[in-house]
Chains A and B, each alone.
Chain A
Amino acid sequence: MIVYGFINSLVLALIALGFSMTFGISRVANFAHGAFYVLGALLAWLFLMKVGLPYFVSVILAVVIVGIAGALMYKLLLARLRGLELSEVISTFAVGLIILELMRSLGVMGFQYRLPPFYRGSVEIMGTYVGIQRLIIVGAGIALLSALYFFVHYTRVGLAFRGVPQDDHTAYTVGINPDRISMFSMTLGSMICALAAILIVPLGTISVDSGYEILLKALAVCIIGGLESTLGVVVASFILGYAEVMTAMYISSSFTMVVPLLCMLVILLIRPSGLFGKHKELEERI
């Protein structure tokens, strides 16, 4: 159980990472996150199964294309709507719906839409058998998290990343174009999202409905952990991950989706800024 909880937590962290990152840098809540997730998986599947490219190449292609999609969405839509929160929310939500429902109406459903795992087989850890794919997720998750941490904290671009959300205009005056940084963050966020999809999807099938579920999970994790805090994402996904596994074990697996809701409502009532959020405005009691 400990092992499965750990894996589940990392899956959640991977899902939420892209969302939290985009939000933390550009203040765009990407409601198309779930759509990008499914899109990433589907593209990888297309390249792998239909075009017949090698696994590695198709993964890279899929990730890059989703990244481009994210950049385009920023360039064509969001760049014109910056500052209008309402419009931002609605337009990303609408883009997500377009992608997902388009896939649904094209008939993306069923069992043939599944990615093969990187490696089959399983190993025994602490008395439970764990598929190698899950181990890869764990490894990749940890690697991605730490790579991102180093990128944001120890590179020049990372510094710009941390600077822009604090003040757009100041960023301009020191020669950073916040628009470009935001676009870059959007691209990176979508790429992480697609990568997460390709890692996680071999555990199940590609389905349109999972797009909504992914968005929900990402939102729940981010709200509990505090939007834009990477540490918050990790901690919240561990809380949720273990909580889900425990409910599935002791109560019933159909209750697993209920747990995030309850966690979220409790957190909102106690600390509206989330566990690690640094929102002064939210700390105000209105």
Chain B
Amino acid sequence: MKEKRRKERIDRGIKACTDDIYCISSLREIAYLILPRALPVLATVLVLLLVPMYWKKVMVITFIMAIMAISWDFMASCGLVSLGQALFFAMGAYASGGLNHYLGWPVYLSLPIGTLLGGLVSTIMIFPALRLRGMYFSMVTLIIPLMIMRIIEATKILGGTEGMSGLTPLPGLAFSAVLSLIAVWIVLFVLRRLVVSDYGMIFMALQDNDRAVEASGLNTLWFKVQAIFIGSAMCAFCGAFMTHIHMSVGMSAFALDLSIFPIASCVVGGIGTLAGPMLGAVVLGPLSEALRSIGTFRIVIYSAILVIFIVGIPEGIFPYLKRKYEQTERWV
């Protein structure tokens, strides 16, 4: 007997999240949950394997930028909108570079220690601004990296304008590619897990109403410090990593691109989703590489994309894709 099949459109996302049993009830439902997570991972691995040498390097830089973007997004969803992501990057770069250059530490020590040290130093530098909210905080974060840059120029510490060079490189492109790939996916999945945990809820609550968090008996300053440390340590890792890739560190670690690129990726991908920034970075990274020949005009293009997206598509790409995926029709 021929059963009449009809098309059903359900919000499968909601169902998958609320009914634990449902989501493991059939292979199809398992696939429904696993595929959107597994496919991008596979895709990045494959792309990394297949593309030629030059584009491998581009991919590595893209992944690093994706980490910066995810970090920005995380901090923004804690209510800490930073316009000076370059500061965190530079602190990581200088910390790791300094450890390697002055103390002669090998890469496998200077990279992790530089990451932690960079995160710590950035947190201390941002600390005075933590009592400010919203726009006021952004203003200060814009100033601090540029001022630090001037201080380094003026005092000629840490190599002054030239910076430090002749650092130990990472062992081979393959190694750095794998490292960056693993790092970006770990950061993404761990953070996405973190923000739905009870501990992460506190960070999310900080943006909505920090006074109520304080009235709930939680020290907001302390949690903001933690948020900044988590975010800046991620950027510091990027800085430390790129330092060893370039084998030098200098004023370019404070470059404005580094502050504007994460923001652009987030706006394109979708603010507050964590996966969105990753997507945005993967779109914008190769694009910016392709545009390398036009020099600083790149920043104009980023900014233009930023403005267009923020006015036209404030939601971003990722939430749109997610909604469409969850609304897919199926035969029942």
- Are A and B subunits of one complex? yes
Interface residue ranges, A against B (CB under 8 Å): 29, 31, 76-77, 80-81, 84-91, 93-95, 97-98, 101-102, 104-105, 212, 215-216, 219-220, 222-223, 227, 252, 254-255, 257-258, 260-261, 264-265, 268-269, 272, 281-282, 284-286
Of chain A, the residue at the smallest CB distance from B151 is: A258
* Interface residue B208 (Cβ < 8 Å from any Cβ of A): no
The B interface is mostly helix, strand or loop, or mixed, namely: helix
* Interface residue B304 (Cβ < 8 Å from any Cβ of A): yes
Partner of A261, one of B83, B143, B211: B143
A-B contact count (CB 8 A): 132
* Interface residue B59 (Cβ < 8 Å from any Cβ of A): no
Residues of chain A within 8 A (CB-CB) of B304 are 94, 98
Residues of chain B within 8 A (CB-CB) of A265 are 128
Instruction: Decide: B296 and A219 in contact? CB cutoff 8 A.
Output: no
Partner of A257, one of B150, B211, B311: B150
Q: Shortest CB–CB separation between residue B212 and chain A, in angstroms?
A: 10
* Interface residue B286 (Cβ < 8 Å from any Cβ of A): no
Instruction: Decide: B211 and A212 in contact? CB cutoff 8 A.
Output: no
Q: Shortest CB–CB separation between residue A88 and chain B, in angstroms?
A: 8
Once A101-B297, A227-B136 are accepted as A-B contacts, the answer to whether A81 and B311 lie under 8 Å apart by CB is yes
The A interface is mostly helix, strand or loop, or mixed, namely: helix
Give Cα A258–Cα B155 distance, bound, in whole angstroms.
Answer: 10
Instruction: Decide: A105 and B154 in contact? CB cutoff 8 A.
Output: no
Instruction: Decide: B271 and A105 in contact? CB cutoff 8 A.
Output: no
Q: Shortest CB–CB separation between residue B70 and chain A, in angstroms?
A: 17
Give Cα A69–Cα B297 distance, bound, in whole angstroms.
Answer: 21
Residues of chain B within 8 A (CB-CB) of A86 are 76, 81, 271
Q: Shortest CB–CB separation between residue A167 and chain B, in angstroms?
A: 18
Residues of chain B within 8 A (CB-CB) of A88 are 135
Of chain A, the residue at the smallest CB distance from B260 is: A97
Give Cα A76–Cα B143 distance, bound, in whole angstroms.
Answer: 27
Instruction: Decide: B133 and A252 in contact? CB cutoff 8 A.
Output: no
Residues of chain A within 8 A (CB-CB) of B131 are 268, 272, 282, 285-286
